[in-house]
Structure 1
Amino acid sequence: MALVPLNLLVTHDGKSKRQHVTCVHKCGNACSKPAPNTSGNEYFGDIAKAVSRRSVLQAGGVAVLAVGAGSVLAACSNTSEPAPTTSSASAAAQPPAGMNFVSVAPNSEDAVVVADGYQQAVVISWGDPVLPGAPAFDVTKQTGATQRTQFGFNNDFAGLLPVPGQSDRFLLVTNFEYATPQFMFPGYDAAAPTRDQFDVEIASMGMGVVEVERTPGGGLRPVMGRYNRRITGDSPFLLTGPAAGTPLVKTQADPDGRTVLGTIANCAGGVTPWGTVLSGEENFHGYFGAEEGSAAPTPVDADRRRRYGISYEPSELLWETFDPRFDLDETPNEVNRFGYVVELNPWDPTSTPVKHTALGRLKHEGATIHVTADGTVVAYTGDDERFDYMYKFVSSRRIQPGADPAAMANNMAILDEGTLYVAKLSSEIPAEEIDGSGALPANGSFAGSGTWIPLLRSGPDGQAQSLVGGVTAAEAAVFTRMAADKVGATKMDRPEDIETNPKTGKVYVALTNNDRRGADGKAPADAPNPRNDNKSGQILEITDDHAGTTFTWDLLLVCGDPAAADTYYGGFDKTKVSPISCPDNLAFDSHGNLWISTDGNALDSNDGLFAVALDGPNRGETKQFLTVPLGAETCGPVVTDDLVTVCVQHPGENDENTIDSPQSRWPEGGNGTARPSVVAVWKTGGNIGV
């Protein structure tokens, strides 16, 4: 099996299928609160008014993508009729290799529905044994001790790493993002959670390593292997980089500021070329609380907390009543120890995972790696919040090949030394041509250029230099959002997964949605975020000077109903595409096609996994490969030549339901409990999409 490495919120007024209960537990209800970014960063309207197109061209300071059939957005009308077929679409041949399957129709089935001719099976589900001695899952007999030996809850990212010398065995490494107690505990009382429930919740989160093997039929099944491991919300982690050892992260329990217990809110991630796994701590803020009426000790602290969405009020899960670490009054610095990119060595079950503060503290969707020709390592990461930013880290160390201890030691330190940047995008499009409707500007393309602005330079042994005036190195590492505000980074529509195409080197960004774009007092539409009240999101395509500071960009997809005038599918005939909404995670197959999983589909259908052609006459062709069950989100796609896996997160989550009154009983059926699971899909006797 040829593996392609994974260089791996909406409101509730009918615009999205994401339920309020999901937002409460997944993102701390951030989608129903004011966006934390209240900075006065200039936006494209300011730039366009200040700089005319002629002066930019004369200065030679902005590189704009060439206008061609592959990169120009199709013209939009003022009606809801599909855009005319372009010359590119007319010339489209058969689907490209990797996409030769019949699209799955939008649906609301309580099942995983896959393309015709493909087989599927659950690999592993919440509560299944991972470590020796683990009991079989019993929803009525859960304890923290048993959950620490079982597969965790709400799996998100997945990486599939081949075991050397064993062609049909792999390490399945997953994140467990968040706990939803009303779908975990029969009879749950949100007003009076118990200590036992807290123990299960904190043990159900974190990460897991499970050996899996190919089945005779073609799927995957778990194995009680020597690499199996559970990382939980209170497992020890080593804090490295500029924040480590500084007063901002020291606590009474950890006066050295270098040992953190646990990782929480782990969303997407990536597999590194040196064989480790990266995981992004995303919506960590919702696990910290305080008594009603308490407040931050100083105005500076209050601003810092506000910028990260942290509220001085009781948390939803009330963890602060069971562990003082989560009490903002008792342990004010503990919250500063979450929000980092985590690195786990899955090949050593005794190793201590690391939190890399040199990559900044934000709501990391994930982190993915690109290696340049000279061995420079570049890590891309998105900050998943409305109006927040895109980042990259360029290491000053080079990758060292091999799996020997010296190489691993070097490579595990790569993300501690280098420069952290934030993206600022620009465009020559006049401000009056960006009206928030999604209508194309006169030049026929939403395209432009950009600059990576340096924030923080990190060196050996935690040495670091802030590159932002008035900000210390420790502050830039711990309050990265505020440093990025000061340099005028571009406010984006929820930048989630960022992946590099291994065939072309181009970088793709999933911008999921932003219903506040253009609202009173908020940033208006601009060229890379061209719609106000953006409910379906877009895919940004970047041609980056990976180790440098300049790039060009255009929009590959403007997602939503293909019949709507404000959508665009790479110039491909919109009458021949699968509707896609709310892109979240990205992956690539060996043919160079982009695969997109969705979260919160605003088109009244279940979420799914889609393949998108990127080149030639089929550029923009979008085909749905599978859908997930009612209430579920599609996460962590892995796409190989002969196997696809997805994580099915929060099946059956619905505001009107609980575990006692379920919307879904997938995957067990009958009287079974809805359980987040990993699903494998394959084609008997053939490869995916060929």
Structure 2
Amino acid sequence: MTDSTFLYDDGDIDTNRSANGHLNDLIASRYSRRQTLRGGLTAMTTAVFGGVLLAGCDEDDLLQRETVTVTAGQGATTSAGKTVTLQGTASTTARTVGWAQVSGPTVTLSNANTNTASFTAPAVSASTPLVFRFTGTTGVGDTATADTTVTVTPATLDFTAVPKNRNDLVTVPAGYTVTVLYRMGDPINASTPAFANDGSDSNFSTRAGDQHDGMSFFGLAATGATRDPSSSTRGLLALNHENIVETYLHPRGQTTTGGVRPEAEAIKEIEAHGVSVVEVTRGASAWSYVQASSLNRRITPNTPMVFNGPARGDVQLRTLYSKDGTQGRGTINNCANGAMPWGTYATAEENWAGYFRRDRGDAAVRTAAGRAKENTSLARYGIGEGRAGNYGWTTVTPADSSSTIFRKWNATATADAAPDGTADFRHEPFQYGWIVEIDPYNPQSTPRKRTALGRMNHEGVEPGRMIAGVKPAFYMGDDAQNEYIYKFVSNTPWTAADANAADRLATGDKYLDAGTLYVAKFNADGSGQWLPLTFNTGPLTSANATYPFADQADVLINCRIAADLVGATPMDRPEWTAVNPANGEMYCTLTNNSSRSPARTDAANPRSYVDPRTDGRSNSAGNVNGHVVRLRENGDTTEATAFTWDVYAFGAGSDLNKDNINLSGLDDTNDFSSPDGLWFSLPSNVAGQGANPVMWLQTDDGAFTDVTNNQMLAAIPGRVGDGGTKTVNNSTPAGTSTATTRVGKAPGATLKRFLVGPKECEITGITSTPDGKALFVNIQHPGETGGPDNITSNWPATQNGAAAPSSRPRSATIVITRQDGGLVGI
């Protein structure tokens, strides 16, 4: 039993027995009457005490003022790649607001929890509605919503084509900014002094080299030196330095006394070749390179290398420097490039043959040593007897008599030396002509020459689409007249996790050291075959009378000879390759071919004509303006051994005959000549996504320069087979012929001139940040025909205004950005 006498009572009981309404009842009554207008606790309180707390306001006015209301703005239409701003409004009673996507392709909303949100319109193949909902919420959770629709249409080239011009600066469309980033001679460490640009500078092993060319961007984490493939604010640029403009490199040009070059000049010239790896960052107002970065590196013709793949250790790679044929020194005449999916940089050795000296009588020495077939090889690669070698480096007498950095460029066999080549440098030419893989994130790593990809005038190497479980392909051109297009198919199917492998060069070993090298044959009916270059297949045997191959290493070292024997199609200087990330189709620039006579035309190289000039120079003949061929693998797989093809576009002046020369119907907004650099926007941003990603086309021209400096165009190409056939009637002083070719749909407004460079330059090398908002482009050899007493360009000093007439031109990397912060090109 409980005694209630001592229980506590605080008086909190209901003793009011009147009929007056209870506060809770009143609140409930008032609240429910305005169910559609309620505004949370504030509305509830003023509904009960409004006459006391807010004199002069009647009940309906208060309820209206404390109701949450929102609007989401009018619907709009935009195109893929554009930045879209959503503007919502909410009454003051809203404690929180926010945007959310209701339907359509998923986008990432920036500032979604504010009135003003934004997003990048996604890639679409047709007009597509996206619905967004704006919500306002009161303090007690009451909400109001409103929807708006943004209709997105396919991407367009949203800029006015840059007019052709011969100005001494880089011209881009209105709304874009050019920043000069990394110039020839710029120091890459804290101890190297600023570049004087008067020919007196040295130490090019710690400066930017000359003639910037192929290039790739590799993302870095915001802090530290770790890889971040998604970073668009900090990264490494790896870029090639193809050659030199020797007239500007020294105070008064090259010195030759009694046929001998000074050692210091030759060292400078050698070190100005090769590759740069340099850190770049985006600041508050512009991009810049980081001079003192620990990741900066120069790779020159003197940098130690190793050989990997089937030719490693082959007798043809043995030299005095590497008697077992496993090592080498340096890379030279690096033209195009490739970015490997696992985060490495691949550089291509192009016109390396011209650097070698070969004295008369060398062929007899090789024959006497039992190596007569080396004469066949050297001739096929352009190293005949009687060559002095570019820049006369072998004439130097070094201060260090034990040094062989100049001697190695003399490929002449010494009569009394070891016949296997280990006592001289007769085999040094076989150490060049390869794809070289570099880890840009590790300055201490040793570059690897990938022999499985063959030896040629490599223009570049472009990976095909990487699909898990499928063997990847890597596409390459051999840049010389009447050479071939190749692809290498790895023996190892792609594993997606390898994109983030820690040991990047070991991953390269996995995919690039074993596989099949193929060469392309183009048929007149629009079909084609990939012909395998495999030892003991077809004519590639030890019994071949033209060239008796010893093994697969011999086939790869002499893949030009192998391609001749299997019947590949000679092309008009195959240069850069690029792969459409949407469908896997491969494009290849065919720059031009002065030896393409009417009698030698075919379906894939159908033009031979005389190009009229307006600058007084003699007219040239052949395929003067070049074209871009593209192919689609059967089954859309990189493992295919057959393909279909057509010509995406033929280079030509807009005023030339449209029946036989200007076959693509180019006009003043998009005519071009001598296509060279080629690159698709990255699939990490809208410009590289969807059914029609943006392709960039650069020129290296001498035929159209009476009309315009070299240029870069943007394109949204179609697909193989979207055009038809055309019959071309060729006529030159060498004769006449008829050829039927396959031409893609006329580009029209889907091809536009985006950039024109300064005087006498080549536009070459292109990459971007992953977000597509910064485009890096290289300007090579401006003013190349001049010298100290006849400076023919002052770029890049002219880019931001007038320059002193004495300012020497410099190759340089530029960055192009939109002034509104959007994607470049669309």
TM-score by length of 1: 0.78
**Is residue 234–residue 279 contact of structure 2 (8 Å, CA) maintained in 1?**
yes
8 Å CA contact 2:337, 2:345 repeated in 1 = yes
Gaps of 5+ in 1: 4-93, 429-447, 458-463
Kindly, what percent of the aligned residue pairs are identical? 33
Partner residue in 2 for 1:473: 552
User: Secondary structure, in 3 states, of the residue corresponding to 2:560?
Assistant: helix
Pick one of 471, 475, 483 that aligns with 1:376: 471
1:106-162 CA distance string (max 9 Å, x none): 111111111122111100101101123121112446565x21111111110111111
Give 3-state SS (helix, strand or coil) of 2:353's partner.
helix
- Compare 160-169 and 565-574 and name the one that shifted more: 565-574
Identify if the C-alpha distance between structure 1 residues 575 and 290 changes in structure 2 by more than 3 Å, giving closer, same or farther: closer
- Tell me what 2:58 maps to: none
What is the 5 A alignment of 1:231-250? 231-250=299-318
Greater Cα offset, 289-298 or 500-509 = 289-298
Instruction: Give runs of aligned pairs for residues 621-640 of structure 1, distance below 5 A.
Output: 621-639=750-768
Query: 221-230 or 149-158, which moves further after superposition?
Result: 221-230
Q: Counterparts in 2 of 1:46-65, with a 5 A limit? A: none
Kindly indicate whether residue 623 of structure 2 is the aligned counterpart of residue 534 of structure 1.
yes
Q: Does 2:584 match 1:505?
A: yes
- Alignment partners' CA distance in 2, 1:242 and 1:274: 22
Distance 1:257 1:660 in 2: 46
Larger Rg: 2
- What amino acid is aligned across from residue 426 of structure 1 in structure 2? N
User: Which runs of structure 2 are paired with 1:22-421 in the superposition (5 Å)?
Assistant: 97=155, 99-140=157-198, 142=200, 146-165=203-222, 167-189=232-254, 191-192=256-257, 193-291=261-359, 295=363, 297-298=366-367, 299-312=372-385, 313-322=387-396, 323-329=406-412, 330-370=424-464, 371-400=466-495, 401-402=497-498, 403-405=500-502, 409-421=506-518
Deviation at 1:466, TM superposition (A): 9.7
8 Å Cα contact 1:288-1:328 kept in structure 2: yes
Relative distance call for 1:547 and 1:189 in structure 2 (3 A) is same
Secondary structure of 1:286's counterpart equals helix
Output the amino acid matched with 1:365. Answer: E
Q: Which residue of 2 aligns with 1:674?
A: 809
Q: 2:573 aligns with which of 490, 494, 502?
A: 494
> Does 2:662 align with 1:597?
no
Contact 1:96 1:618 in 2 (8 A): no
Distance change in 2, residues 1:225/1:218 (3 Å): same
Find the aligned partners of 1:372 and 1:562 in 2 and give their Cα distance.
Answer: 41
Which of the residues 497, 521, 525 maps onto 2:601?
Answer: 525
Give the 3-state SS of the residue equivalent to 1:251 in structure 2.
Answer: coil
Q: Distance in 1 between matches of 2:538 and 2:268?
A: 40
What is the CA–CA distance in structure 2 between the aligned matches of 1:527 and 1:648, rounded to whole Å? 34
Tell me, what secondary structure is at the counterpart of 2:311? coil
Out of 677, 680, 690, which is 1:585 matched to? Answer: 677
Aligned CA distance change for structure 1 residues 515 and 572 (closer, same or farther; 3 Å): closer
Amino acid of the structure 1 residue aligned with 2:823? N
Q: Is this contact kept in 1: 2:186–2:195, CA < 8 A?
A: yes
Distance 2:278 2:254 in 1: 33
- Separation in 1, partners of 2:675, 2:702: 8
CA RMSD of the aligned region, Å? Answer: 2.6
Larger mean CA deviation between 657-666 and 610-619 belongs to: 610-619
Report how many aligned residue pairs link the two structures: 568
* Contact 2:649/2:747 (<8 A) preserved: no
Q: Deviations over 1:2-22 (max 9, x none)?
A: 99xxxxxxxxxxxxxxxxxxx
**Aligned counterparts, 1:547-562, within 5 A:** 547-562=639-654
Kept in 2, the 8 Å contact 1:594–1:612? The answer is yes
- Secondary structure (helix, strand or coil) at the match of 1:596 reads strand
Flag the 1:412–1:294 CA change in 2: closer, same or farther, 3 A: closer
Cα separation, 2, equivalents of 1:482 and 1:626: 39
Equivalence for 1:689: 825
Deviation at 1:467, TM superposition (A): 8.0
Residue aligned with 1:392, SS: strand
| Conserved? CA contact 2:321–2:328, under 8 Å | no
Q: Is the 8 A contact 2:607 2:660 kept in 1?
A: no
* Matching residue's letter, 1:315: G
Q: Which has the higher contact order (CA 8 A, sep 6+)?
A: 1
Q: TM-score, normalised by structure 2?
A: 0.65
Deviates more, 1:394-403 or 1:414-423: 394-403
Q: Which stretch shows the higher mean deviation, 342-351 or 313-322?
A: 313-322
Distance 2:580 2:539 in 1: 30
Give the residue type in structure 1 aligned to 2:239: T
Distance 1:109 1:683, change over 3 A: same
Indicate yes or no: 2:734 matched with 1:661. Answer: no
CA distance change for structure 1 residues 108 and 292 in 2, over 3 Å: closer, same or farther?
Answer: farther
Alignment partner of 2:533: what SS?
strand
Whole-Å separation in 1 of the counterparts to 2:580 and 2:768: 13
* CA deviation map 1:20-52 (0-9, x unaligned): xxxxxxxxxxxxxxxxxxxxxxxxxxxxxxxxx
Determine the structure 2 residue equivalent to 1:68: none
In structure 2, the residue matched to 1:66 is none
The aligned counterpart of 2:779 is 648
Following the alignment from structure 2 to structure 1, what is the Cα–Cα distance between the partners of residues 315 and 563? 21
CA gap 1:570/1:160 in 2 versus in 1, 3 angstroms: farther
